[in-house]
Amino acid sequence: MSATVQTLEAMERPPVSMGSRLEGELLEVSMGPQHPSTHGVFRMNVALDGEIVRKLKPVFGYLHRNHEKIGENTSYLGSMPYTDRLDYFCSMTNNWAYALSVEKLAGIQVPERAEYLRIILAELTRLQNHASLLGFLLNDMGAWGTPLMYAFREREKILDLFESLSGSRMMCDYMRFGGCRVDASDDWLVGAKKIVDRFPKFLDEFEELILGNEIVIGRTQNVGKVSAELAINAGVTGPMLRACGVNYDLRKVDGYGYYPHFKFRIPLGEHGDTYDRLMMRALEMRESVSILQQAFAQIQPGPVLNPKVKIRAFRPPIGEAYGRIEGPKGELGFYLISDGGPNPYRYRVRPPSFINLTILEDMCLGHTVADVMVILGSVDIVMGEVDR
Amino acid sequence: MIGSGILKGMAVTARNFVGSYFEKDRLITVQYPEERNPLPENYRNFPFLIYDGDDPHAGLRCVACKICEKECPPQCIYIVKSDDKKPDYMGKPQLYPKVFDIDISVCMSCQICVEVCPFEAIKMDKEFELSKRERFNHLLQRKEELSKSNDYYHKICPTDAAEVDAKLAEAAAKKKPAPAPSAPTPVSAAVS
């Protein structure tokens, strides 16, 4: 912790009526990038009045790896393994979003079985992302370890599925333009169905563990409220937006992939506080389980890769494309401009957690430092994606 | 009643604690390295080069075409072509790599080199206990360390190796008998 002088003059004095113990004097504290609950190398400069946050400035870039410039200097296929490293919790959805935008750019058709496999993998990713997010959020609240270990136990089973299909637990690099790299065997589908069928049991237990807990309710309800207007204006997407009661889910709005063939509901919140955001994840996991069960029932044998797509020397026609999907964290989009060469002329990522993070100050003002950690946890950020 | 939610949560914790002694579903810890989970067949780690037969030099499938070097996203492969030629598995004289280095501290195990290789010469290994005491030289793998036999590949990935062998045998069968019948036919055609 460090107190600095020169920026204090620049800060507004808090209203006297707020009951400040320091009588209007603000203390600037730098939280992070080594703080244990900042979810990676994230830093916030907070101006504190006693324990109340009066100003908050996020500082990021500690994990900047120049992802977009690397994407402009490698081939289209060469960027695929790099997208795994954006949001390393959900590499499957990152792969899908990138493959989708290249397929839009080059007008590539995807076989039916590949679309089903993509939906299965994306929903499995959503399950493991939301489960581990809830674990981390409780970790931030002080439930050290126990809920996180239960969540990770379930996540581990899904990661084993990813490993046996794609060869790697987290850096899957599984999707290709025009389909998926390898086909899933029948054994794999049976094993995945078994794990998905058992997942609601874990959800029941997990909800019993946390959702009725008085401490969780006390720490989350009416904490970090976001109004629907602010969320829409800031471009917030994903479970954070739906927690404010805005019905916006790209799986319904865009209907990409084979999602229009599936029946599922979009859970909506009401208050936009941390409790709603937490509930949103729990409810979305239930819907994901139902999507997965429909997919296992509907999937048919067939090819998984469009044979017309060249692996080497892939050159899409001149043009631009923006492909977006509903990732577990929100709208994940890739914008590509092609000049006909083997590399994209411009490669841009629209990362959901970075844009969701922009309203952090609005959520945190007036709350205590301990609440800031809970609010940050409920935004669901991964620094690999925020800094890129 | 206030506190009932906490008590319910405690009951869940107790169920998990007691259950971890009886249910296999709740006890998932593996005591590595004494106990190991079997690796799935698709597991990939770092690439290696395949040679047929017993001699790593004579049987090496790589023909130094440098496609993997060009396509590798983090640029971790370094190849120098040979000056002379050696026969490949079909008896055709081909170049071979004089130098073939992979810096596994740079490699990100993406498998793109395996996908682009037209000669089935580079495959993904499954060995993951690769810690070294030196930072730079020891993680740079030379051709000698990278070359592994086809039998080893059969041991780590039986299904894929059998597929590759069948594909190569088919290609060789297509090439080999082709010159034998096609050479006499024009002659006989010309005679008749």
Residue A271: CATH number of its domain? 1.10.645.10
- Sorted by sequence, the CB contacts under 8 Å of residue B55 that are 6+ apart come out as none
Please answer yes or no on whether A167 and B40 come within 8 Å at the CB atom. Answer: yes
Is residue A20 a part of any domain in this protein? Answer: no
A205 vs B: CB within 8 A: yes
For chain A, percent of residues with pLDDT exceeding 70:
93
Structural domain count, chain B: 1
A145-178 pLDDT tens trace = 888 888 888 888 899 899 998 888 888 888 888 8
pLDDT along chain A (388 residues), means of 10: 45 48 71 74 85 85 87 88 88 91 88 90 91 87 83 88 88 87 88 90 86 84 87 90 89 86 89 88 90 89 83 85 89 90 89 88 87 87 85
Number of structural domains in chain A: 1
Q: Treating both helix axes as pointing N-terminal to C-terminal, what angle do A274-298 and A112-141 enclose, rounded to 10 degrees?
A: 150
The predicted structure's pLDDT at residue A47: 87
Of A79, A165, A311, the CB nearest to B42: A165
Domain that holds residue A285: 67-386
Q: What is the residue-level pLDDT of chain B in tens, covering all 192 positions?
A: 777 888 888 888 888 888 888 887 777 788 888 888 888 888 888 898 888 878 877 788 888 888 888 888 888 889 888 888 877 777 778 888 888 888 888 888 888 888 888 888 888 888 888 888 887 778 888 888 888 888 888 888 888 888 888 888 888 787 665 444 444 444 444 443
Contacts of B126 in chain A (CB under 8 A): none
d(CA B76, CA B69): 8
Q: Which of B1, B106, B108 to mutate to test binding with chain A, by most A CBs within 10 Å of its CB?
A: B108
**B113 within a domain of the structure (yes/no):** yes
Would you say residue A162 lies in a domain? Answer: yes
Put simply, whether A146 touches B (Cβ < 8 Å) is yes
Tokens of A209: 């563990």
Chain B residues inside the 8 Å CB shell of A181:
111, 115
Interface with chain B: mutation pick from A163, A182, A198, A202, highest number of B CBs within 10 Å: A163
**Domain membership flag for residue A147:** yes
Q: What is the pLDDT of residue B16?
A: 84
Residue A23: its pLDDT value, please?
Answer: 54
- CB-based contact A77 B71, cutoff 8 Å: yes
The model carries a pTM of 0.85
Q: In chain B, what residues touch A208 (CB-CB under 8 Å)? A: 8-9, 11-12
Q: Is A342 on the interface with B (CB under 8 A)?
A: no
Residue A29 inside a domain? The answer is no
Under an 8 A CB cutoff, do A81 and B110 touch?
yes
Domain of residue B93 covers: 46-172
A166 CB within 8 Å of a chain B CB = yes
How close A211 comes to chain B (CA, Å)?
Answer: 8
* Chain A: residue whose CA lies nearest to B12: A209
What the block records as the tokens of B1 is 């009643």
Q: Would you say residue B85 lies in a domain? A: yes
Joined tokens for residue B192: 């008749």
Q: What is the CATH number of the domain that holds B62?
A: 3.30.70.3270
Q: Which residue, A148, A284, A281, A126, is CA-closest to A209?
A: A148
- For residue B145, tell me if it sits in a domain: yes
Residue A224 in domain: yes
Is B118 contained in some domain? yes
Count of Cβ atoms closer than 10 Å to residue A305 Cβ? 19
Please enumerate in sequence order all residues whose Cβ is within 8 A of that of A116, keeping only pairs 6 or more positions apart, or say none. A258, A295, A298, A299, A300
CB contact under 8 Å between B115 and A311, yes or no, is: yes
Residue B189 inside a domain? The answer is no
